[in-house]
């Protein structure tokens, strides 16, 4: 069992002062695999003070120098890609293919885009007789989740550092290994002491203390809607800037001229990858009434391809859920689906055949879903797809927009203009047309209860700036 009893502060690893510890478990064996310290308020104060002291110096480091230092971080991540993949097997049960195709390549690409972005940004602009200056917001608290432990750290920490902010990171206590490896890479890259700091702990304790800290200028959080509300409430006392990336219940609309086999196969991948533990997962599939039997047959056929097993086996497509709490939540959602009259197409309750331990679930598809059902409205965060049928395009759009969320969505059609017309009507932060790949240079974030702000590339870096208008800073020619 690994012990995480030191936090990173002011350029060195120091012992946490509190006695409380949190347990992290291997999702395949259900055995405790790590013990994580709970940093006290004094520890948080020390980390924030280090970031505050470092801010003035870091904020004026020339862009070229910041880019070079972040380039070293990027190189360190690339050199330890397999180490991160091993961390993610232990922490969240991510299959090797997920780590090698998503969990590690995505943050690498994102960091490259951030480095490029600050190299081309304009930091001072003349507006009539005013000088408009883009300045880093200050000390940033980054609170990250367990489902993408490296990607979310880089999305926040990399962007904040690129902008010239200093950072205190509070990663998920359920997935500590990737965060510790990242901190070690930052240390080796040679950033000045205090520019990056890491504290351990839970959300209601350490996270809330960090979010409420008067010397923290901004909080960037990813997690559930409920936890996001708590973070916003904690931050409101000092009226600090917040960025929230929260949940989703994303819908893909299959129009009647779509290539249904391709679409269903892709939607299942968008729903099941990372065991469905993706905030932007496409978890609702909307199909024309007349084509529902065909889609159900395709879902049953393709769901069988999602073999469940040991995430360290390269042949495994679906690993376990990350923790007991998530396993129990997904089982409750499946039970609710049955209770509310949903029709099972594939999968179902309990562990897959042959799995006697671990947080493994069956890749599941329900059909006959109506808008008032929980499966149509609530985020499950597991490999469970809800198939709904619609009468016409108006009803399809109404169903797609009929939840409190708005993080992602999809449209399939043989006519790109027809698909684009539907995409424009969807109240969501991104729409995937005909299974197009993710573009990390484009902004990522949500409408409504899916959050506030945007991440990735240039858009992510821009979240960490303030604008200052210096009247009289420029004179007319």
**Residues belonging to the active site:** 245, 279
CB 26 within 8 A of CB 18: no
SS3 309: coil
Q: What span, in angstroms and rounded, lies between the C-alpha atoms of 409 and 431? A: 5
Q: What span, in angstroms and rounded, lies between the C-alpha atoms of 50 and 164? A: 15
β strands within 193-327, DSSP E: 196-198, 218-222, 241-245, 250-254, 282-288
Among 170, 222, 223, which residue's Cα sits nearest to residue 198? 170
SS3 134: strand
CB 399 within 8 A of CB 249: no
- Report CA torsion sign: 468, 466, 200, 72: negative
Among 85, 88, 77, which residue's Cα sits nearest to residue 33? 88
Please state the length of the chain.
Answer: 477
DSSP state of 318: B
Tokens, residue 192:
């000045």
CB 63 within 8 A of CB 119: yes
């Amino acid at each position: 069992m690994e012990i995480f009893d030191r936090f990173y502060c002011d350029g060195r690893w120091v012992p946490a002062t509190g006695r409380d510890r949190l347990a992290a478990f291997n999702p395949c064996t259900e055995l405790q695999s790590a013990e994580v310290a709970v940093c006290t308020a004094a520890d948080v104060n020390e980390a924030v003070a280090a970031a505050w002291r470092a801010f003035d110096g870091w904020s004026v480091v020339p862009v070229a120098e910041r880019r070079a230092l972040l380039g070293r971080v990027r190189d360190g991540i690339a050199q330890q890609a397999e180490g991160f993949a091993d961390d993610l097997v232990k922490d969240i049960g991510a299959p090797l293919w997920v780590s090698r195709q998503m969990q590690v390549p995505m943050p690498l690409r994102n960091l490259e885009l951030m480095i490029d972005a600050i190299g081309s940004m304009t930091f001072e602009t003349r507006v009539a007789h005013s000088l408009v200056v883009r300045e880093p917001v200050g000390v940033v608290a980054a609170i990250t989740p367990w489902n993408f432990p490296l990607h979310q750290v880089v999305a926040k920490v990399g962007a904040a550092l690129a902008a010239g902010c200093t950072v205190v990171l509070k990663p998920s206590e359920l997935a500590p290994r990737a965060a510790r490896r990242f901190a070690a890479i930052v240390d080796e890259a040679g950033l000045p002491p205090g520019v990056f700091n890491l504290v351990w702990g839970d959300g209601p304790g350490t996270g809330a203390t960090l979010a409420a800290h008067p010397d923290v200028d901004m909080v960037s959080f990813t997690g559930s809607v409920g936890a996001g509300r708590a973070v916003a409430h904690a931050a409101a006392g000092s009226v600090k800037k917040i960025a929230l990336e929260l949940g989703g219940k994303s819908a893909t609309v299959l129009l009647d001229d779509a290539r249904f086999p391709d679409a269903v196969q892709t939607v299942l991948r968008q729903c099941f990858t990372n065991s469905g533990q993706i905030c932007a997962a496409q978890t609702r599939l909307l199909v024309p009434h007349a084509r529902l039997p065909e889609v159900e047959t395709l879902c049953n056929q393709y769901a069988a391809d999602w073999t469940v097993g040991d995430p360290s086996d390269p042949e495994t497509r679906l690993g376990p859920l990350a923790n007991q709490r998530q396993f129990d939540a997904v089982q409750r959602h499946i039970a609710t689906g049955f209770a509310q009259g949903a029709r099972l197409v594939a999968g179902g309750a309990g562990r897959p055949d042959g799995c006697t331990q671990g947080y493994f679930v069956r890749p599941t598809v329900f059909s006959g879903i109506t808008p008032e059902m929980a499966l149509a409205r609530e985020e499950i965060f597991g490999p469970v797809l809800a198939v709904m049928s619609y009468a016409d395009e108006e009803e399809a759009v109404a169903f797609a927009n009929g939840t409190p969320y708005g993080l992602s969505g999809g449209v399939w059609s043989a006519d790109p203009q027809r698909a684009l017309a539907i995409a424009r009507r969807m109240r969501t932060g991104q729409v995937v047309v005909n299974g197009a790949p993710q573009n990390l240079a484009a902004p990522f974030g949500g409408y409504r209860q899916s959050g506030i702000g945007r991440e990735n590339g240039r858009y992510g870096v821009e979240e960490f700036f303030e604008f200052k208008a210096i009247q009289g800073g420029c004179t007319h020619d």
